[in-house]
Amino acid sequence: MASIKKRPDGKWRARYRDANGHEHARHFDRKQDAQAWLDEVTATIVTGTYADPRRGRLTFGQWWDDWSVRQVWVGTTVTSAGYTYKSLTFTTVPMRLVRPSHIEQWIKKMTADGIAASTIKSRMVHIRSAFRAAVRDKVIGEDPTANVTLPRIRRPDQAMQIPTVEEVGAALAIAPDPFAPVIAICAFAGLRIGEVAGLQVRDVDFLRRTIKVDRQLQGNNSKDLVVVPPKYESYRTVHVPEDLTTLLAQHIEAHGTYEKEEWLLQRPTGGNLTRGSASASWRAVRRAVPALEPYTLHDLRHFYASGLIASGCDVVTVQRALGHATASMTLDTYSHLWPKSEDRTRKASADLMTAALTAAATHDSAGNPADSLRTAGQK
C-alpha cells in the first residue's frame, strides 16, 4: 500500500508498507518527486531487487559480524576469512552505499601490497558470498561485487613449480624419520597435507598396497584441529608403490603405533600433525637443501601428478587419484603436462614412417622390392 499526502508545511509525504508491514516514508518539496520515489520502490519490488532501507544502514562490518557467525566453516576457512576481513577497506561503509568502486579500491590495495592474484580471488569468494547473502535477505538490492574484474592468475604452466626426482630424493634423505613419511605420502600418493594428517593406521592396506583417504585434519595448530571429510568429499583409495608401504611399516614399528585407530603420523615433538607443524618441518628441510627453496609441500602433489601423466595415465585416472571434484578441474590444473595434439600427431606419423622404412629396408635386403611385387602379381 502506498500513498502521497500534502503536509501542513507544504511538503509532500510519500509512504508505503513493505511485505513485513513496516512503514517507510520520505518527504519531498514536489509531488512529482514523491511519485518518482514511489515508482522506483515499486519497480524494485516488481523486479525482486527491493531492499529494506533501514537494514541497508548497517555497515559492512556489522553485516559481516551477523553473517559470518552463521557460516559452517572449518579451521582453515575461519582463518582465511579472518585474513579477508582484516584486508578490507570499506568495513565502515553502510551496506546500501557500497559500490563496485569500493571493491575495486580494495583489490587495488591488495595488489599494491603484493598479495597474489590467487589469494585475491579466494578473498573475493568470501566477500561475494557475504553480499549475495545480503541480497537474499533484502539488506541490499544488488551485489556490488558483480562484474568486478579480478587480477589475472598466471597460467598453471607459468605458476606451477615441480621438483625433480633428484630434489625429492634429497628431501627424503635429509628429513628426519617422523617427517620423511609425510614427504613420501605427498610425493608418491599425492595426498593433500590435511589428508596426510588425517590418516590412521587402518587406512594403510599393506597387502594390497593402498592408502584409503577417509578424512582430513584441518587447523593450523593443535588447539583448533577438527576432523572433516576430504576436500570435495573426495573419499578414495590410492594405489601406492611397495616402497611406500614398506617405509610406513618401518615408521609404525619405530613409533609403536599399532592400534588401527591411532593417527599414522605425528609431529616430531609428539601430538597430531598439523598444517603449521608440517610447514615448519618442510622449512627445515629446505634450509638443509637449498635446491628445495622454491618449493612448497603442495608442490610434491604436483610432482605426483606429473609422474602419473608422464606414465600415460588418462585424465579420469589422475582426477581420481588426486581427489579432484571434476575431470575439468584436473585439466585446468595440469593440461600443460599432457602431450599436445600436435605431439601425438607427430609421434603417430613418425611411428608409421618408421614402420614403412623398416619394411622398405627388409625388401631391399631381399632384392628389388618392385621386382618382388611384380613377381607376386604374376603368380
Same domain for 246 and 306: yes
Distance CA 112, CA 359 (A): 64
Question: What residues contact residue 140 under an 8 Å CB cut-off, 6+ apart?
Answer: 51, 56, 95, 96, 98, 131, 134
Same domain for 317 and 251: yes
Looking at residue 156, its pLDDT comes to 56
- Average pLDDT taken over every residue of the chain: 88
| Residue 310 located in a structural domain | yes
Cell of 128: 561475494
Neighbours of 219 (CB within 10 A): 22
Q: Which amino acid is present at 287?
A: R
Looking at residue 371, its pLDDT comes to 56
Angle at 316 (CA atoms; ends 303, 231), nearest 5 degrees: 70
pLDDT above 70 for 159 = no
Looking at residue 248, its pLDDT comes to 96
Distance CA 359, CA 364 (A): 9
Looking at residue 166, its pLDDT comes to 96
Looking at residue 72, its pLDDT comes to 87
Same domain for 316 and 176: yes
Same domain for 110 and 42: no
Q: Burial, 349: exposed, middle or buried (Cβ in 10 Å; 0-12, 13-18, 19+)?
A: exposed
Residue 46: pLDDT band (50, 70, 90) is: low
Same domain for 234 and 117: no
| Residue 360 located in a structural domain | no
| Residue 120 located in a structural domain | yes
Look at 166 and 353; give whichever has higher pLDDT.
Answer: 166
Distance CA 278, CA 188 (A): 17
Look at 91 and 223; give whichever has higher pLDDT.
Answer: 91
Q: In this structure, what DSSP letter does residue 362 have?
A: H
Q: In this structure, what DSSP letter does residue 59 have?
A: B
Over residues 367-378, the mean pLDDT reads: 53
pTM recorded for the entire structure: 0.67
Cell of 305: 601428478
Looking at residue 287, its pLDDT comes to 95
Question: What residues contact residue 211 under an 8 Å CB cut-off, 6+ apart?
Answer: 185, 189, 191, 199, 203, 204, 205, 237, 238, 240
Look at 361 and 312; give whichever has higher pLDDT.
Answer: 312
Same domain for 136 and 63: yes
| Residue 358 located in a structural domain | no
| Residue 356 located in a structural domain | no
Over residues 185-191, the mean pLDDT reads: 97
CATH number at residue 21: 3.30.160
DSSP string, 139-205: S-SS-TTTTPPPPPPPPHHHH-----HHHHHHHHHHS-TTTHHHHHHHHHH---HHHHHT-BGGGEE
Which of 6-10, 72-76, 106-110, 135-139 is predicted most confidently? 106-110
| Residue 306 located in a structural domain | yes
Quote the number of domains for the chain. Answer: 3
Over residues 292-311, the mean pLDDT reads: 95
CATH number at residue 214: 1.10.443.10
Task: With beta carbons less than 8 A apart as the criterion, state whether 111 and 87 touch.
Answer: no
| Residue 65 located in a structural domain | yes
pLDDT above 90 for 187 = yes
Q: What percent of the chain has pLDDT over 90?
A: 56
| Residue 159 located in a structural domain | no
